[in-house]
Amino acid sequence: MQRGHQTWVFENQPAILSTATVVGPFEARGPLAGDFDILHGDLWLGQDSYEKAQKKMLEEACEKAIEKAGLQKQDIQFFLAGDLLNQIISSSFAARTMAMPFIGLYGACSTSMESLALGALIVNSKAGNNVLCGTVSHNAAVEKQFRYPNEYGAQKPPTAQWTATAAGVALLAAEGEGPRVDCATIGRIVDMGISDPYNMGAAMAPAAVDTITAHIRDLRIDPREYDLIATGDLGRVGYEIAGDLLKKHNIDIPADIFTDCGLLIYGPEQQPEVLAGGSGCGCSAAVTYGHILNRMKRGELGKVLIVATGALLSPLSYQQKESIPCIAHAVSIVSGH
């Protein structure tokens, strides 16, 4: 099953039985709104804190995915999830509500594909079936922890990104209709010495390129085998850096198949507050499990590679003037047709 140094090939190709996405009011006004399952008009979601709102979004996504698959909570054998808040409290508290066997993960914004890769490994090896994989982020909760509360109105540089208020969940099983998980490449930590939390795209771009390079090397494939290669949430700055680095590595990915979830979620005509684009755990999760998989189901895409990127800093490491270690995990998804 292992191919090369960093890649798993899933010979049983676990099926994505269903997916569910939940977004906040800003994302509900974006160009991908029609691809999301639940759109909220209130950033609070009726809760008394943004942290509780983030937890509720993940719970809603889990419940919706289970409902769409025609299953019950007790049918889920494992729940794999993580988020950006300290001690992944949104995921842990959602798991408390869902009452499922839980494996908590932390890969920052790479958690969407980290959870999908590990879920596919569980299903492919027959260590479990009906595995729920997901993540969530909330703009106000995450900004409060990592930067400044939005209410402060702190000015941000053009390299900063907008944390998406979004949750995305995929339900994997050994059998069933739908797209299938073909293989996954687990990333390495890449740290180029960047310490600016307002320039995440530049920090994460080398990790994305490192994982794409490993994926191509391990499988000995041409990137043109994919109809779409989407990085996680590099935004405009990181996406351009990644493109330049790929060229330096002599990896030719045509512009028409190379994109970024942080650019897609708010579209080319982004609002000024988005700055360099979208970010957050929920960004790549919602775009992949909503927009991209819907394109696959319509027959527009046959094979895609999602390379979710994560900046593994904390408020404490930033205060101690540490640089930002980054990682990217890639998952190949093929059409079920």
Domains and CATH numbers, the chain: 2-173 (3.40.47.40), 180-334 (3.40.47.40)
Are the beta carbons of 310 and 326 closer than 8 angstroms? yes
Q: Which pLDDT score is estimated for 270?
A: 66
Give the C-alpha separation, 75 to 184, whole Å: 25
Give the C-alpha separation, 301 to 295, whole Å: 6
Mean pLDDT for 241-266 is 96
Q: Which two tokens stand for residue 121?
A: 């490994």
Mean pLDDT for 303-331 is 95
Q: Which helix (H) or strand (E) holds 21?
A: strand 15-23
Q: How confident is the model at residue 272 (pLDDT cuts 50, 70, 90)?
A: confident
The DSSP line for 114-163 is: HHHHHHHHHHHTTS-SSEEEEEEE-HHHHHHHHS--GGG-----TT-BEE
Q: Which pLDDT score is estimated for 156?
A: 86
Q: Is the CA virtual torsion 256, 26, 206, 328 positive or negative?
A: negative
Q: What is the pLDDT of residues 78-98, one digit of tens each?
A: 999 999 999 999 999 999 999
**What's the predicted TM-score (pTM) here?**
0.96
Mean pLDDT for 49-60 is 97
Q: Which residue has the tokens 């994305």?
A: 208
Give the C-alpha separation, 80 to 270, whole Å: 32
More confident residue, 267 or 76: 76
Question: Helices then strands (H, E): number in the chain?
Answer: 11, 15
Quote the Cα angle for 20-21-23, to 5°: 160
Look at residue 67 and tell me whether its pLDDT is greater than 80. yes
Q: Which pLDDT score is estimated for 148?
A: 65
Look at residue 152 and tell me whether its pLDDT is greater than 70. no
The DSSP line for 173-201 is: ESS-SS-EEEEEE----B--S---TT-HH
Q: What is the pLDDT of residues 183-209, one digit of tens each?
A: 999 999 999 999 998 999 999 999 999
Look at residue 228 and tell me whether its pLDDT is greater than 90. yes
Residues, the chain: 337
Exposure class string for 211-236: b at 16+ Cβ within 10 A, else e: bbbbbbbbbeeebeebbbbbbbbbbb
Q: Which two tokens stand for residue 101?
A: 């066997």
Q: What does R_g of the chain's alpha carbons equal in angstroms?
A: 18
Q: Which residue has the tokens 């049983």?
A: 12
* Mean pLDDT over each residue of the chain, to the nearest integer: 95
Look at residue 153 and tell me whether its pLDDT is greater than 80. no
